[in-house]
Amino acid sequence: MANHVPPPYSGQPRRYPGPVSAVAPQAALANHNSAFRICIDTSTTVRQDNNIVDIAGSAAEQAGAIAEAVTAALHRNSSAECGIPMIDGDGHPRPIDVEIIACLTVDGSGNFVGDAKSLAGFGQQQ
């Protein structure tokens, strides 16, 4: 098997797209005091040098999965399911503002960040 060396890292931290959000426009939320506002931060920061970190899926995939879980939980607990009322006192739908921050920051050098498959290949070459 070929000797694989992870790519060199610059002195600057590598920042991936974030925050990844599924958010209602602020103007729509401004007039609704009964809006749901949920913020979930699943950011990962790798500090120092020579770390090996297993991260399943991309930040966007993780944010999407969290948004789906939040939406499903709200649906299960809606008034139709005898839980959270999804309309306000005037009968208007309640806006839902879900912000999911799923950033990956790598500070340092010689760090290897990847999924289980890439880490297995990296481990065999060490």
Tell me which residue of 69, 68, 66 sits closest to 19, measured CA to CA. Answer: 66
Its pTM stands at 0.53
Q: 103 near 16, Cβ under 8 Å? A: yes
* pLDDT over 80 (residue 45): yes
Residue 85: asked if its preceding bond is cis (omega within 30°), the reply is no
Mean pLDDT of 53-82: 78
Q: Which H/E stretch holds residue 61? A: helix 59-76
Mean pLDDT of the chain: 72
Q: Does 27 have pLDDT greater than 80? A: no
Give the pLDDT of residue 33.
Answer: 64
For 60, the token pair is 């966007």
